[in-house]
Structure 1
Amino acid sequence: MKRARGIVALRIPGVSARLTDDGDDQPTDEYIPGTLAIVEKATGVFIEWTPQGEDECGWVLADEDSGHTIPSLSPKPVDASSSSSLPSSGPLSPHSRLRFSVDVNDLSSFKNVEPKKGKKGHPCIRLIAKDGTNYVPLYFLTQSTKDFIDVLQRYVTLRRSAREHQLVLVVDEKAEALAQSLSTLDQNGDIMGRFMHNPYATAMTGLSKITTFVQDQVIPAILDSDAVSQEEKIRAMRELRTETDDTRLKISREADFEVVTQLELPPRPDIFRESPVTQAVWSSFKHSDGSFDQAKSHHMMMNVFRGGVETELRKEAWKYLLGYYEWSKTPAENEKKRAKLEKDYLRMKGQWTSISEDQESRFAKYVVRKALVEKDVARTDRTLKFFAGDDNPNLAMLHNVLMTYCMYDFDLGYVQGMSDFCSPLLYVMGNECDAFWCFVGFMQRVHANFEKDQTAIKVQLNQLRDLLMIVNPKLANYLESHDSDDMYFCFRWLIVWFKREFSFEDTCKLWEVLWTCQPCPNFLLLICAATLDRQTETIIENKFGLTEILKHVNDLSMHHDLDEMLTSAEAIFHQLSASQDKLPMHICEHLALGDKSVVGTPSGDEDDE
């Protein structure tokens, strides 16, 4: 028995990992059966999960009462000196990448989620390491998590968070005792006392120094999660911070300011999502000639905001929401406009398709943009059937739309991440011309996100920090004290509107909600604030720094609940709206509170020249 590399203190079969996969055009939840174990090894005690049918790494089952050991089916040992994915001694299954082993001493906490009374579901745990890594959620399909927690407590001290009942902390008793021996400050009051009116009014002046650095290094570092290491992402953001040191807040004591010492907000209201807008409901807002009743526009936009639109309706609705079709025009008038724009599209497409290789040799900027487009098209949403496989004509259409946009907007051209905005439009429209003009409408909203100086992104990050100071001063203060209040870990959320965080279907729903500009044009920031608000205790109680926060935030990808995020964000809006007479002026400006002109009236109704 000495040859065995591990003794199993606990082995629970029937514990399944859960995958979220949108490879079939629709999001599906797949449970991967496996075995969870707590294993004592020479190098430490490890929590391990192995997919069903794979070797269990030389485990030896221990019977505490009898002292006997029962060898497992696989005698082959594994070196578990690090808390990484385990190697396999045989052929790898498609789910082998989910297999993991983590030293209990590297564990920071775990989520222990029990299904709500009266609702279907299974108990679930999700391990969180000290470096911010979130392991795949594990579902206990045949039993509770009690046995796992009981055995784990033999090796580490556990404490349930007093603020988030689902969070169980792994306590370092020595550090805990030291922390309790130190006096604490009223951190919330401190940060609120330093919160000024319009604190970032002059913070953008130094951004002119940033030219291609953000486009060439920061954006790829944030978006290329598979190709770029976590350390490189941090390096890119640290370098951006160094480049923009002169954009940090410089608040003059003589400037006009408003000090917020304490702000009591009312409770957040309960918000409920509604069903998607149907064709019948959509048509009820039209006149007999097919144009939309402008007197009912706000009501219609609120319906879309509260539930999105049915999948079958998107091809028509998105054309209006993105300004391609005009709300006040009849279908015949919009079709006439479409015919004109189709000619414009073909004209611009012909401009780049007619460029010869000889011309390319003297057109460096065009060559660079073409290479970027080809690189991104080859890897954008390839798990979808619509874009899967080689020689897919839909990939050719995506390439054509993006290259033609370079002709439409010579100044911007193409920047990595723009394909993320284009692919859902092409998927829904199924037509190059329609997808292109919807893309033009979408880019009008997000154009500034891709500009070289990145002023727009910096403004949004500063606005998000401002909101967090009001909505969650505890987290805002923690981020500031841990050199993370620049909010760079939210960069990916903002630049591609959460495209990398949700399934393809949820992304479509989120975007059509945001296109309504309800209940305010900056609702995306409230979604960011709501997402961070839900992670407050996990971040603070695990003592995460910038590196760990970024890893934690990235690991949440595909594990967000869209409806929960939308209801939380809307609840925050109404909470702040009810307190707008107490809010600093710049917060009201961020959310357009008190601006009667912001009622979500559909845009894009401009007469043709």
Structure 2
Amino acid sequence: MAMELSTKASLNGTRVKSSAAVIVTTNPSVDSGNQSEPYVEDAEALLTPPEEEKEGLDTLNVVEDTVEGNSQGSRSTCVSPVSSQGGVYSMELLETFGLNLHRIDKDVQRCDRNYWYFTSENLEKLRNVMCTYVWEHLDIGYMQGMCDLVAPLLVIFDDEGTTYSCFCHLMERMGANFPNGGAMDTHFANMRSLIQILDSEMFELMHQNGDYTHFYFCYRWFLLDFKRELLYEDVFCVWETIWAAKYVASGHFVLFISLALVESYRDIILSNSMDFTDIIKFFNEMAERHDAKVILSLARDLVLQLQTLIENK
């Protein structure tokens, strides 16, 4: 039963002293006064040790409704299992949870159906994990894309409790990428800064051919850690590299992987003078056709390029 999954395992590993830095946060809504000069003065912040992870997201504690004067119309007859005094859940809470269940059911049925693991039985496990997360984080609720993040974890662990615990930990980093989280604009701004610093020709093309302040073609990359861009078997390697990179290279290695994807097709983008619409269409067509090993190797080289730039400035 989904309601029985409450274990939250700590996934914190021994922190290795970082050799690179956290991406500096630029203001995503304000353009630089001089677009011809890269943010070299900010680049040093790209190689400072990452901050400690935030505490886990607050969970919603379902308590007995004892507010004086609360009308009977706002209360249900569903007895709360967490109340020793026979309290009940509010209708508002039940309606909110029901709406989230509807969203979950729709996405679970569509999630990774072509992958061998997701039989009807394992799709039910996926649903259980997702329902449990939403119940304990009802203030966050379910948003499209969450099933995509749970699915690879379930494939590896094949256990609802462990998968749930790991997903909770993953959402400490990924949660802000979803709508209302605010992280996506920061990713776009940092991506713009990286391209301006490491590939001025590409930056000028993007500057000329569209709204270069928002890198919408990267949206799905950041939201799902490239899960839909790669072959399924490559997702595990890329995810582990992102997690490990926090301790040995950069707390925002996803930015360097994103830039590596762009740089892998640099000649095609430049020769065709692609605008942002062209780039979005191009990468949609290239989904699951990328060489993950080449992309990861190039991402590592880009980190080294930035380190060298900082050391020699």
2: CA distance between counterparts of 1:468 and 1:483? 15
Relative to 1, partners in 2 of residues 1:496 and 1:411: Cα closer, same or farther, differing over 3 Å?
A: same
2: CA distance between counterparts of 1:261 and 1:406? 40
CA displacement at 1:578 relative to structure 2: 1.6
- The aligned counterpart of 2:252 is 522
1: CA distance between counterparts of 2:39 and 2:149? 41
| Residue aligned with 2:184, SS | helix
1:11-410 → structure 2 map (5 Å cutoff): 200-201=26-27, 203=28, 247-249=29-31, 251=33, 260=38, 363-388=94-119, 392-410=120-138
2: CA distance between counterparts of 1:480 and 1:576? 22
Bigger helix fraction: 2
Structure 2: which amino acid aligns with 1:503?
A: L
- The aligned counterpart of 1:470 is 197
2: CA distance between counterparts of 1:501 and 1:367? 32
| Residue aligned with 1:410, SS | coil
Deviation string, structure 1 residues 578-607 (Cα, Å, up to 9, x no partner): 221456xxxxxxxxxxxxxxxxxxxxxxxx
**Unaligned 5+ runs, structure 2:** 1-23, 42-54, 57-80, 83-88
2: CA distance between counterparts of 1:566 and 1:199? 23
- The aligned counterpart of 2:157 is 429
Deviation string, structure 1 residues 60-86 (Cα, Å, up to 9, x no partner): xxxxxxxxxxxxxxxxxxxxxxxxxxx
CA displacement at 1:454 relative to structure 2: 4.2
RMSD: 2.8
* TM-score, length of structure 2 as denominator length: 0.71
- The aligned counterpart of 2:273 is 543
Bigger strand fraction: 1
| Residue aligned with 1:387, SS | coil
1: CA distance between counterparts of 2:25 and 2:160? 44
- The aligned counterpart of 1:419 is 147
1: CA distance between counterparts of 2:147 and 2:25? 34
| Residue aligned with 1:467, SS | helix
Question: Which one has more relative contact order, counting CA pairs under 8 Å at least 6 apart?
Answer: 2
Q: Which of these two proteins has the greater Rg computed from alpha carbons?
A: 1
Indicate the percent of aligned positions where both proteins have the same amino acid.
Answer: 27
- The aligned counterpart of 2:292 is 562
CA displacement at 1:429 relative to structure 2: 0.9
Relative to 1, partners in 2 of residues 1:367 and 1:582: Cα closer, same or farther, differing over 3 Å?
A: farther
CA displacement at 1:260 relative to structure 2: 4.9
CA displacement at 1:249 relative to structure 2: 2.5
Relative to 1, partners in 2 of residues 1:468 and 1:364: Cα closer, same or farther, differing over 3 Å?
A: same
Q: Is the 8 A contact 1:377 1:419 kept in 2?
A: yes
Deviation string, structure 1 residues 374-409 (Cα, Å, up to 9, x no partner): 111001111112114xxx111111001001101222
Q: Is the 8 A contact 2:191 2:259 kept in 1?
A: yes
- The aligned counterpart of 2:171 is 443
Q: In terms of mean alpha carbon deviation, does 574-583 or 471-480 score higher?
A: 574-583
Relative to 1, partners in 2 of residues 1:261 and 1:400: Cα closer, same or farther, differing over 3 Å?
A: closer
Relative to 1, partners in 2 of residues 1:404 and 1:533: Cα closer, same or farther, differing over 3 Å?
A: same
Deviation string, structure 1 residues 323-358 (Cα, Å, up to 9, x no partner): 99xxxxxxxxxxxxxxxxxxxxxxxxx88xxxxxx9
**Unaligned 5+ runs, structure 1:** 1-197, 204-246, 264-322, 325-349, 352-357, 584-609
Relative to 1, partners in 2 of residues 1:261 and 1:368: Cα closer, same or farther, differing over 3 Å?
A: closer
Relative to 1, partners in 2 of residues 1:248 and 1:488: Cα closer, same or farther, differing over 3 Å?
A: farther
| Residue aligned with 2:277, SS | helix
2: CA distance between counterparts of 1:400 and 1:525? 32
1: CA distance between counterparts of 2:187 and 2:98? 32
Q: Is the 8 A contact 1:199 1:249 kept in 2?
A: no
